[in-house]
Amino acid sequence: MTTSDLERSGPAALADRHGLTPIGQQPALRAYMASLWERRYFMWTFARSRIAAENAESRLGQLWQVLNPLLNAAVYYLVFGVILGANKNIENYIAFLITGVFIFAFTQRTIMSGSRSISGNLGLVRALHFPRAVLPFAKVIEELIKTGTSLIVLAVIVLATGEPLTGQWLLLAPVILLQLMFSAGLALLFARLTADVRDIAQFLPFALRIWMYLSGVMYSIRLFVEDRDVSPVIEWVLIGNPAAVYIELARDALMATDQTNAPIWTWYLAIGWAVVMLPLGFLFFWRAEARYGRG
């Protein structure tokens, strides 16, 4: 028996001869996207089932979705509005604050629940075969549906503070869509990071909190920048921060009394963050597709 005969008799050669391919290989990007599209009904049903299950388990569960940002807004109103005076020069501070809190909460919740989508569903990952991006995307859909409810509450409150209902309000739809794309990208990114390193789930809330304080949720970044005479680099970082961009555009859409209207390039930034972050997060998540489930 020659060496080549020996090699040919190994399991790998046998597999090759019969056209068998290794299982659990990294899928090609196009095939992966196609298989993800095939599972769109699963994604959607999974998201809706989770919400239905939450509703069935506790009636208050859904209420907290709205109550939590409202109570947060009340605390910020007290601390930043009344005590620190961040409300001076802002005509309608309540609408300003509530819009900021609700819009930021959308990104925050999407990233938080997306980050746990793999590590929290290991049982499912280890039992059934499907493109793993189904899980973070299902979480994103779940948060989008829930945010739909809280946006209605937001609209009612903003109207109650005396803002008029104008055609500008329609601009909220593209803002939410772009913010959704951006947040989905980060959800995918953190889904992989948390699947690799579980501790990131512990550290993430603090990072998100710092991000929130830097994003002009309870104060106006433009007024702050004018007041303090900060360096152009810091000014650029503060104003270009994606969360600040989406919050500012949402305020422009909902509030006629907001005097510090964002310049048009804010929209370019909003689009830029969305079309960069979503593919980036998706590619990053896809690169580890074959490894999910080991941890």
Partner 1 sequence: MAVADQQAAVASVVGKPTVIVDDLHITYRVMGPRPAGAQADGASALRRVLSRKGSPGLREIKAVKGVTFVANHGDAIGLIGRNGSGKSTLLRAIAGLLPPEKGAVYTDCQPSLLGVNAALINSLSGEQNILLGGLAMGMTPGEVKEKFTSIVDFAGIGDFVELPMNAYSSGMSARLRFAIAASVSHDVLLIDEALATGDAEFRRKSEARIRELRDEAGTVFVVSHSLGVIRETCNRAIWIDAGTLKMDGDVNEVLAAYEAVVEK
Contact call for residues 270 and 249 (beta carbons, < 8 A): yes
What is the widest separation between alpha-carbon atoms in the chain? 91
Q: Are 105 and 124 in contact (CB under 8 A)?
A: no
Number of residues that bind partner 1 (CB under 8 A): 41
Comparing CB distances to partner 1, the nearer of 14 and 173 is 14
Rounded to an integer, what distance in angstroms lies between the CA atom of residue 142 and that of residue 205?
19
Taking the C-alpha atoms of residue 250 and residue 170, their distance in angstroms, rounded to an integer, is 10
| Smallest separation, CB 38 to partner 1 (Å) | 8
- C-alpha angle 100/103/105, rounded to 5°? 100
Question: Contact letters (x/-) for partner 1, 51-90, by CB under 8 A?
Answer: -xx--xx---------------------------------
Q: Which amino acid is at 36?
A: L
Residues 128-147 that bind partner 1 (CB under 8 A): 128-130
Judged by beta carbon, residue 28 or residue 84, the one nearer partner 1 is 28
Q: Are 174 and 102 in contact (CB under 8 A)?
A: no
Distance of CA 107 to the CA centre of its chain: 4
Of the ranges 76-84, 186-194, 235-243, 286-294, which one interacts with partner 1 (CB under 8 A)? 286-294
Task: Mark the segment that binds partner 1 (CB under 8 A) among 117-125, 175-183, 225-233, 265-273.
Answer: 117-125
Per rule CB under 8 A, is residue 1 in the interface with partner 1? no
Query: Which of 6, 7, 8, 91 is in the footprint of partner 1 by CB under 8 A?
Result: 8
Structure tokens at 235: 């000014």
Type of residue found at 274? A
Interacting residues toward partner 1 by CB under 8 A: 8, 10-12, 14-15, 17-24, 38-39, 41-42, 45-46, 49-50, 52-53, 56-57, 121, 123-130, 198, 290-291, 293-295
